[in-house]
Amino acid sequence: DSGSVVPYPSLVAQSESTQRNTSKSGSASTAAMGTSSSSSSSASALIISACDKAGMEGIDRTRVDEIIMRESAGSVYMKQQQKRDQNVNVKIDELKQKLAAKDYSMASINSNATSWRRAGEHALEPIIDELVQSRPRRSTCVVVDMDGFYISCELLSRPPELGNLPCCVGGNMITTSNYVARRYGVRAAMPGWIGDKLVEELSNGKERLIHIPSNFDLYTRKAHIIRGALAEYDPNLRAYSLDEAYLDIGPYVDLRVGRGWSHERVVATLASTSKHSCEDKEHVDEEVGNEEEFIHCNVDISAIAAVVKEMREKVKVATGGLTCSAGLASNFMLAKIASDQNKPNGQKVVGPSHKEVLEFVHPLSVRKVPGIGRVMEKMLNAFDIHIVHDLYKERALVQFLFKPASARFLLRASLGWSNDSLDPSAPEDDEVGSSSSASGQKGISKERTFSAGKSWEELNSKLEDVCRSLSQSMVEKNIKAHTITLKVKLHTFDVITRAKTMPRGIVLQNADQMIVEMTEMLLNVKRQHKGTFSVRLLGVRCSNFQGDEERSQDSGQMDISKFISTCSPIRASHNSLVHSTGTTKMTSRIEKKVDFAQKGAQTDAQVKNTDISSFFSKEKGWNKVEEFETAQVLDSGTNSTHALHSVDPGNVSSVPASR
DNA sequence: TACATACAC
DNA sequence: TATGGTGTATGTA
């Protein structure tokens, strides 16, 4: 922990400056201290969506922001956002204090306040080496992202002239806008009336935003068609959402380009091997034998790109004209980022070499990294970290400032290979007796927003509706849960949650049962909030599913298993690929698929080669690094690095093939 | 386990 | 007038 934080004069002053901003945020005065005006002026950046969405380059952001701010001014929602913003400011100040304390203490030891960073960088070297070395060597990861999916689906069946007008899906809340609307700043998650204002004012009254009601059946149908087309290239693709899919086309490319097979022949081969692979590993292993010689032909990257292009064309044809964009890279984080670069209807390739990867990611805003949102962006900015290169440059600082998981994630991001932060909720066909807990889903929930100020009876009625709806879904999916959570959003947008785990032997699925629990809980919440209990949303969530118990109880391997579980199966498969090519043992693509199919991925002991979590685990982690720094600074000893090195392998090699 | 946050689509 | 729903992960107590 940060230990005792010494309140230095300058820091106190800075804290106060933040407090002062509470009164009026938005365009409040810039932070008082010269250190690095962290908080205030970027307040709006957190409140307004600062991220440049595809199709919004070069628009008049100041006018857009101005209109949004004007329209939102004084709303309860905006007050809530400002509160959140202030909380982030406080966090930033705390981090700055922590840093100042560190610099101070290290300076007292060494007189050079920044030498600890160099020591930290040194300690990170082996970890970085390991990561860079185990990086996948081919760019066969593809992220396919439909262009303005919902709105494009809608426009498909309407007069083409509509496409030239600003359109969106959604009424009160916009879910997607077309590229014409985006040029007016109209985007997903924006309230409808603000979209209206933007179009009206920025077109000088010449245009109006057209709203089209959403039709999820349509999008779902189209999504299935899309997946069908894509699955020819990777039968094990991951559909992350209706409009996004993650593929590894390595196997396809090897056969199609490497061996010169016809598309049809490749598709047939891939399909036959993949389906069995889910259940019948041994069978697949046998087939692997046949494929032994074929591993990884050196396929030119432009040939891979051509395959992607062809694939996108097939999607377009299959859907009757929907376009998509794609990113092609050596891992899914890069592919995801790349998929956005040439939107709409474009693709981007990132080569696999370390150099190419860094040239691609380092100039990007940190916000482009999937997993870095508005809050993290703001915190990083406060420390003058704006682009990914800064993230790398300041890696020691980052390791010091953030908690292990975040630090680890950020380090990897700075090298262009972060966790993919995708947890595929495996939407596709649920196979035989999948009790759906087998799908890896962790929770299920329903929530409903309504106008605040309902009577107590009305509230309870709403709550019952939500319970029944949730119960129905759980019955359909054959889910039984142990824990139930009530979510209440007050008219102030403050959110309260209350959870209860049922006594042993009692499971939740039945609606009446849930209603009993939830109404009691709601009553308690109401009592705790005497007087002011105006509610705008009620939600119920069930988690802790029955049948998930026996799955994860390998106590000894907490660190590893945790890493693996946060590591998307997709990437797990890549790790194994890399590992196998890195050593002499050749693992075939088929086996890779097996990994891929094992959504739990618990067994993949090979992941160890890229696991850095153990370097940062409780005893051996950053604390160790800190020890090292201290030693380094004190007597410039060097053997601690050694210790850091040797910590891992023994611990890791005993990862059981659990299951 | 309980609660709050951040993040993604 | 007025800002969604579903799901996961992480941190802290």
**Residue-level pLDDT at A586:** 24
Cβ within 7 A of any strand C atom: A 68, 71-72, 75-78, 172-173, 175, 188-191, 193-194, 402-406, 421, 423, 425, 440-449, 473, 536-537, 539, 543, 562, 565-566
Q: Whole-number Å distance, CA A239 to C1' C7?
A: 14
- Specify which residue's alpha carbon is closest to the C1' of nucleotide B9: A241
For nucleotide C6, give the residue with the nearest CA to its C1': A445
pLDDT of residue A60: 85
d(C-alpha A103, C-alpha A383), whole Å: 14
Q: How far is the CA of A93 from the C1' of B2 (A)?
A: 27
- Is the C-beta of residue A375 closer than 7 Å to nucleic acid chain B? yes
To the nearest 10 degrees (0 to 180), the angle between helices A639-652 and A115-133 is 40
CA R_g for chain A: 26
Q: Which nucleotide minimizes the distance between its C1' and the CA of A149?
A: B9
Residue nearest to nucleotide C12 (CA to C1'): A403
**A84 Cβ contacts chain B strand, under 7 Å:** yes
A355-362 contacts, C-beta under 8 A, 24 or more apart:
A357/A135, A357/A329, A357/A330, A357/A415, A357/A416, A357/A417, A358/A415, A358/A416, A360/A329, A360/A334, A360/A416, A361/A334, A361/A337, A361/A388, A361/A413, A361/A414, A361/A416, A362/A387, A362/A388, A362/A389, A362/A392
How would DSSP label each residue in A427-476? -S--TTT--SGGGT--EEEEEEE--S---HHHHHHHHHHHHHHHHHHHHH
The predicted pLDDT at position A555 comes to 36
User: For residue A91, which nucleotide's C1' is closest to its Cα?
Assistant: B5
Q: Which residue is nearest to nucleotide C5 (CA to C1')?
A: A447
The reply to whether the CB atom of residue A243 sits less than 7 A from any atom in nucleic acid chain B is yes
| Backbone phi and psi for residue A10, each to the nearest 5 degrees, phi listed first | -60, -35
CA of A252 to C1' of B1 (A): 46
A370 touches strand B (CB under 7 A): yes
Domains of chain A (ranges, CATH numbers): 1-93+182-204 (no CATH), 138-170+213-351 (3.30.70.270), 440-551 (3.30.1490.100)
Closest residue (Cα, C1') to C4: A173
| Phi/psi of residue A211, nearest 5 degrees | -100, 135
Nucleotide nearest to A494 (CA to C1'): B4
pLDDT in the model for residue A297: 63
Low-confidence ranges of chain A (pLDDT < 50): 1-42, 278-294, 421-436, 552-659
Q: Which of residues 455-514 of A touch strand B (CB under 7 A)?
A: 482-483, 485, 495-501
Which nucleotides of chain C are near protein (any atom < 7 Å from a CB)? Answer: 1-12
Q: Which nucleotide is nearest to A244 (CA to C1')?
A: B9
Spacing of A421 CA from B8 C1' in Å: 9
Give pLDDT, residue A109. Answer: 77
> Whose CA is nearest the C1' atom of nucleotide C9?
A566
Nearest nucleotide to A539 (CA to C1') is C5
The Cα angle at residue A439 between residues A434 and A443, in degrees rounded to 5: 115
- CB-based contacts of A342: which residues, under 8 Å, 6+ apart? A325, A348
Give residue A54's pLDDT. 81
| Surface-to-core class of residue A531, CB atoms within 10 Å of its CB (0-12 exposed, 13-18 middle, 19+ buried) | exposed
Beta bridge partners of A144: A245, A326
Q: Which residue is nearest to nucleotide C11 (CA to C1')?
A: A403
Strand B closer than 7 A to residue A240 Cβ: yes
Which nucleotides on chain B have any atom < 7 A from a protein Cβ?
1-9
- Both tokens assigned to A146: 């439909």
SS3 A593: helix
Pairing, β A324-329 against β A141-146: antiparallel
Token couple for A7: 């309140």
Rounded distance in angstroms from the CA atom of residue A526 to the C1' atom of nucleotide C13:
23
- Å separating the CA of residue A213 from the C1' of nucleotide C1: 21
Name the closest residue (CA) to the C1' of nucleotide C3: A191
Q: How far is the CA of A422 from the C1' of B6 (A)?
A: 15
- CA at A269, C1' at B1: how many angstroms apart? 48
A53 touches strand B (CB under 7 A): no
The torsion angle over the Cα atoms of residues A303, A308, A314 and A318, rounded to 10 degrees, is 170
CA distances, A316 to each of A215, A263, A311, A526, A576 (Å): 20, 17, 9, 52, 33
Backbone angles phi, psi at A387, to 5 degrees: -115, 170
CA of A499 to C1' of B3 (A): 8
Distance A473 CA to C4 C1' (A): 19
Nucleotide nearest to A443 (CA to C1'): C7
Whether A609 CB is under 7 Å from strand B:
no
Using the structure, give the distance in angstroms from the CA atom of A404 to the C1' atom of B8, rounded to a whole number: 21
CA of A410 to C1' of C10 (A): 14
Distance CA A486, CA A517 (A): 9
CA of A495 to C1' of B4 (A): 9
Q: For residue A80, give the nucleotide whose C1' atom is nearest its CA.
A: C3
